[in-house]
Structure 1
């Protein structure tokens, strides 16, 4: 401001009329809100925001507010070690990531049509999960000098490399690009069978001399993610796998830098956008340090992010489009080199042309319309993201060190050490899923019993025998399957009667909560609304179980009497929507934080639903 109080030309004093806020001011306001809501105990001595903090499965505390006081190590600059801010140094604008689409249809003609459609509409590379004998037919008409192909050949990588490279006739060796996808460690994790690393390393050493742009080995983190593991566990196991390949590749004659150039890392991107952003940034930092201490030049990690198969649902699969959009956004912001968005129906079977188009266009919108790749590391400088990146990098390093102490990733798989650690995290995650602390929209929250099922041809069976493959929604979906079978056999779903007490305003909140919970298990709620005679309405409903829904006051005054009347009317069980208390005649309670799966399984058993 000038001495006269006039604003200096060209200068805008934003919020100049307000006093600057402090952390103490914010804490005081937070305490007031928490106290008013009853969430702040009278004798609570700590900082009030601690009541709002969360914690990841890696034990990282997530604070509700981060400021400049929260320090993290300098992230460096894009394209130089430690590569936190990205593996590429291109000025101020990135060209964008590689839009990679997955193809797994066993019919090569179908795969060919889908691949050509993808490449004609925005895709820049292909990921093939088909037999090597189908490559020629599946890639007919594909300009391989323009569209890199990445394979997932299983144990047949030698033959896959031969079949793919035969298709590059006429393309200079120096321009052959893509990936062979050899991954003996990933096969061990998936199948439980031991596969020697030496043949894959020897193949890589041979091909590296002739095809400098071709990567032979993939480090697949998805087996660890799909076993229910945490972000740090996925990263720790992945970089331990990368180290195992560095050892095998250098033993085959490559130096550390040449060996590192043969690797591409495949990591899961989830709907937790900030953890995904931090995971990709942390992974580059950890791998940079590993290649540096291995005696080579610090290397950026070549990253292929795939939207999480574990987060996909079979029920209300349309919501998967939203999950995939958030995950893709996070992968782009996190600096992934290639991104694959799995179609929304991937958990059901083989995708159709519509779902493939939506998956492809999700990336195109973020790249072309939202200009997401127009800035390098757009999350950089965020106090939250920088601190989360640092915490996750340290957690991943600890996981890596623990695996190395077991003798490396192969030994950790053979002994069951890694499986046990992943299983412990899956048990913790399962507990939060069961209590709906980790909600799944369309499945455990806001389910739709009237939804039309999405039908798809079955996908080829996947190899198993090693680490389990889980989906977060699977326990709830099994209950819905039981309900569907009951509907098909009896012409109606299992029912529960909502015995609403008092006027609409008094029971709506708890009736809505209970209805939502019961539908998550495929149990149809019968809600008569405000009625004068609840017992008569129960008799007319045809239900065998009832749940009281009302206010604490109405429970104190009427719960015992109404429960007794419902029992006389034939109710096998009477539940109450609310915190447990002393209510004679009540068999159980449904409330926020209860184990929904235990409640729902018990109700289906009582109702005779197989």
Structure 2
């Protein structure tokens, strides 16, 4: 079999030319569009259904397409070369934007790191061995009362060759106990210290934020001393995922990671550690979210900013790179329709790999349901292996580098994060800012912005707030043990508010009647919109398809529900809408909603008197569903 590099001219049929035509240019027959052409075309699309007096200018049209994240990073609809540096730099050197480590073409370009937190020792021991036999290259174990007990760590890792597999521990309740358990294990192994790779998972500021206690950095240096000779190991981790899971966006996840890392460097230097060693004593645990471009840009931005801190401090250039362990977003996982989490995990893992993470953990798709089982663990593991070994994602250094969007987004996140980092510095550093409640106040604002985006489905959740599956079979998972209560950061998944609505409905059998007027071409679109909305809460949506006013009322009565929704086109609304609305109200409908706009009914005053509310794109579905469940008498 020939390849492009081995093929010779004798392999080419004689009737096939081997010379490129002079002046040949791909797509050369088409005119080169300008940015003005694109803006005009965008305006033409957005103006299609707008009346002449409300036509948008090209600039206004582009403005409509522009959006902002919860932390005010602007996302433009089009990016150009303007403002993007031509000097992209190289991986492995300052400013490390393109990578801290250099990928050299191997398939295993990052550590496939599996998280284990199942307290059942036999299950976890078997799962650990299965992971390592089938492609996982490093382990992350959470040691807590609701996870693995520190005293069980030895048995859980009994089958593991510690000089072949990297091991990291973490704890939300007792980081010292977790670190001691791992250290005792590796010290008793008799292995060459230089051959072992461990991380003790110590994160004093993260622990303080999680538990709502004062941060204690006084005893950090002795942990570095205890790892003397373990040249591939580090005692500390800056866990930025806890900020993400508490509501932080891309900007503050980076900013607070930088501020925490700098606090650790200062504390270690004050305790007698050389600057370079202090700077190199930690890794960063970061989030990989479903926003692939933001994830790629955020990982690049963190490396740039951390390298800049190292430059200002005077750290040796080759020690300034930030090593990142990316974890797919727990906050974005859904309990309902959990198989969609496979897609979320794939996108997030891809983003982390392209963004240059040194290690990646893909959370199993049933994580939000309970303790992951064998199937979900296998899917999580194979997601990474397929991306690495079949899609060859890791063979290239910084494949997104040079794209105008990624470079611009990297700059914007880095600049905004640097400003937020300086705000923390002005407050006295991360320890002081945490004690003052600065992160808590910022998180409250970010969570309120995100709540609005989720409730209005500007940030849709497939399978939960969009296209919910009301007949899905429940996954057979073991429940998680109850976690000890903390007084610090509150973790929330984005889907929780919708899951609470589904739980409230439960198996009550409650329904909302859809009065579909006219023919299917009249009501089809709005019937689909309305049914999708009410299915979010698990409500049934019986309907009628056309018919006279009396037939519509009779169909509504047969359902026994006090809530009805008119669904049709503006034309049919003008002909029949008010008549049907009046009849339904007279028959006893307590709540009558309209899919569309009141003005489509033709008589604003009468419409307002009959219609209790409207549903359309951008409506607060949480408010609509909460009110509907109240009307139906479903207990809170």
Residues 1:176 and 2:196 are matched in the alignment: yes
- SS of 2:115's equivalent in the other structure is strand
What is the distance in 2 between the residues matched to 1:180 and 1:98? 17
1:395 matched residue in structure 2: 416
What are the Cα deviations for residues 424-453 of structure 1, in whole angstroms up to 9, with x where unaligned?
001000001011110000111001111112
Structure 2 residues without counterparts, runs of 5 or longer: 1-15, 143-147
Question: Which shifted more, 255-264 or 207-216?
Answer: 207-216
Once the two structures are TM-superposed, the CA of residue 72 in structure 1 deviates from its matched residue by 4.3
Question: Which shifted more, 88-97 or 596-605?
Answer: 88-97
1:131–1:252 distance in 2 versus 1, CA, 3 Å? farther
1:345 matched residue in structure 2: 366
Equivalent in 245, 267, 282 of residue 264 of structure 2? 245
What are the Cα deviations for residues 286-311 of structure 1, in whole angstroms up to 9, with x where unaligned?
11011111221241111000000000
Question: Which shifted more, 406-415 or 430-439?
Answer: 406-415
1:9 matched residue in structure 2: 19
Once the two structures are TM-superposed, the CA of residue 412 in structure 1 deviates from its matched residue by 1.4
Residues 1:277 and 2:296 are matched in the alignment: yes
- SS of 1:384's equivalent in the other structure is helix
1:8–1:69 distance in 2 versus 1, CA, 3 Å? farther
1:467 matched residue in structure 2: 489
Once the two structures are TM-superposed, the CA of residue 126 in structure 1 deviates from its matched residue by 0.4
1:523-534 matched pairs, under 5 angstroms: 523-532=539-548, 533-534=551-552
What is the distance in 2 between the residues matched to 1:608 and 1:228? 32
Contact persistence 1:54–1:62 (CA under 8 A):
yes
1:88-487 matched pairs, under 5 angstroms: 88-91=101-104, 95-129=108-142, 130-154=148-172, 156-168=174-186, 169-199=189-219, 201-298=220-317, 299-463=320-484, 464-484=486-506, 487=507
1:117–1:541 distance in 2 versus 1, CA, 3 Å? same
Contact persistence 1:349–1:459 (CA under 8 A):
yes
Once the two structures are TM-superposed, the CA of residue 15 in structure 1 deviates from its matched residue by 1.0
Contact persistence 1:229–1:423 (CA under 8 A):
no
Once the two structures are TM-superposed, the CA of residue 46 in structure 1 deviates from its matched residue by 2.8
What is the distance in 2 between the residues matched to 1:460 and 1:218? 26
Equivalent in 509, 521, 526 of residue 505 of structure 1? 521
- SS of 2:594's equivalent in the other structure is strand
Structure 1 residues without counterparts, runs of 5 or longer: 1-5
Question: Which shifted more, 359-368 or 29-38?
Answer: 29-38
What is the TM-score when the length of structure 2 is the normalising length? 0.91
- SS of 2:266's equivalent in the other structure is helix
Residues 1:597 and 2:619 are matched in the alignment: no
Equivalent in 530, 534, 540 of residue 514 of structure 1? 530
What is the distance in 2 between the residues matched to 1:73 and 1:257? 31
Question: Which shifted more, 370-379 or 17-26?
Answer: 17-26
Paired positions, count = 598
1:462–1:284 distance in 2 versus 1, CA, 3 Å? farther
- SS of 2:310's equivalent in the other structure is helix
What is the distance in 2 between the residues matched to 1:580 and 1:152? 56
Contact persistence 1:283–1:393 (CA under 8 A):
yes
Once the two structures are TM-superposed, the CA of residue 91 in structure 1 deviates from its matched residue by 4.6
- SS of 2:541's equivalent in the other structure is strand
- SS of 2:365's equivalent in the other structure is coil
What are the Cα deviations for residues 561-609 of structure 1, in whole angstroms up to 9, with x where unaligned?
1112112222111110013443131111111101111110000001010
What is the distance in 2 between the residues matched to 1:370 and 1:589? 47
What are the Cα deviations for residues 519-564 of structure 1, in whole angstroms up to 9, with x where unaligned?
1122211122233421111112222210000111222232221112
Question: Over aligned residues, Cα RMSD in angstroms?
Answer: 1.9
1:140–1:552 distance in 2 versus 1, CA, 3 Å? same
Residues 1:493 and 2:520 are matched in the alignment: no
Equivalent in 536, 556, 565 of residue 554 of structure 2? 536
1:15–1:392 distance in 2 versus 1, CA, 3 Å? same
Contact persistence 1:227–1:423 (CA under 8 A):
no
What is the distance in 2 between the residues matched to 1:427 and 1:73? 39
- SS of 1:15's equivalent in the other structure is coil
Contact persistence 1:97–1:338 (CA under 8 A):
yes
2:90 matched residue in structure 1: 77
